[in-house]
Amino acid sequence: MSSWRDRFNQFSGRARFVVCRLFIHLAGKEVAPLLGILNRAARQAMEQEGDLQAVGEGLVEICQGLLQYDIYWQSAANEGDVFWDEGEAGDFVEELFTDSAQRYRSGTELMGSGTEDSLSIPLTQNLVVMITVAFEGEAPQLETDLANINALKAGLKALINLHYQGRLRAVQVHFSPAQLGDELTSDQLMLNFPELIPL
């Protein structure tokens, strides 16, 4: 979008909406506990029937978990757009939601109750977390290329701040694989997440 149009819309008092999606690929046996954080946040969001405040709190927990696991980050990507119409922003959120949900074994499926055989479940070596948000205003840390470690850290911290500032309008989190016991191989990773850029 051209800068003259941004300035025009700003002068006319129209609200600015940003919709963006982050991809973060983590690798290593040690990343499996992050699935617990992701599933817990999904469960809480469902229990609260998608309440934006509850979903935002889950997003904060997920971002903090990702920041703690930064040594396992392998690749990342991001995309997004700016809208001056809330309906158009909502349509783009839905488009990204549909795309994320169609990725390999992606979803926010809840883990079943543990069994005695749970110790023999294979642990995935790869995990991809997809975070889609819509927010009002500006967040320069998210409106840039996040395919380097420092920018990605700043972007995750910006997501946390957006929640506490009450500026989030939509939050969606998908992850692949969606359940403990599912595996995402290197070949499946390349096939289903071609946009990822090594960090």
Is residue 2 pLDDT above 60, yes or no?
Answer: no
- Mean pLDDT over residues 111-125, rounded? 44
Confidence at residue 185, expressed as pLDDT on a 0 to 100 scale: 86
| Mean pLDDT score across all residues of the chain | 84
Q: Rounded to two decimals, what is the model's pTM?
A: 0.85
Residues 182, 176: Cα–Cα separation, whole Å: 9
Range of 6-20, 46-60, 97-111 with top mean pLDDT: 46-60
- In a domain, residue 135? The reply is yes
Element (H, E) at 157: helix 149-164
- In a domain, residue 42? The reply is yes
Confidence at residue 72, expressed as pLDDT on a 0 to 100 scale: 95
The domain total for the chain is: 1
Q: Which candidate, 2, 169, 154, 14, places its Cα nearest to that of 78?
A: 154
- Mean pLDDT over residues 124-153, rounded? 94
End-to-end CA distance of the chain: 28
- In a domain, residue 7? The reply is no
pLDDT interval class at 106 (50, 70, 90): low
- In a domain, residue 73? The reply is yes
Provide the greatest CA pair distance for the chain. 63
- Mean pLDDT over residues 49-63, rounded? 91
- Mean pLDDT over residues 78-97, rounded? 94
- In a domain, residue 139? The reply is yes
Non-local CB neighbours of 28 within 8 Å, separated by 6+ positions: 72, 125
Confidence at residue 42, expressed as pLDDT on a 0 to 100 scale: 85
Four-CA torsion 145, 33, 48, 85, nearest 10 degrees: 10
Is residue 109 pLDDT above 60, yes or no?
Answer: no
pLDDT interval class at 169 (50, 70, 90): very high
- In a domain, residue 169? The reply is yes
- Mean pLDDT over residues 113-132, rounded? 63
- In a domain, residue 30? The reply is yes
Is residue 179 pLDDT above 50, yes or no?
Answer: yes
pLDDT interval class at 6 (50, 70, 90): low
Non-local CB neighbours of 182 within 8 Å, separated by 6+ positions: 105, 124
Residues 194, 186: Cα–Cα separation, whole Å: 11
| Domain encompassing residue 158 | 17-115+123-194
The DSSP string of 115-154 is: -GGGGGSPPPSEEEEEEEEEEES--TTTSS---SHHHHHH
- In a domain, residue 9? The reply is no
The size of the chain, in residues, is 199
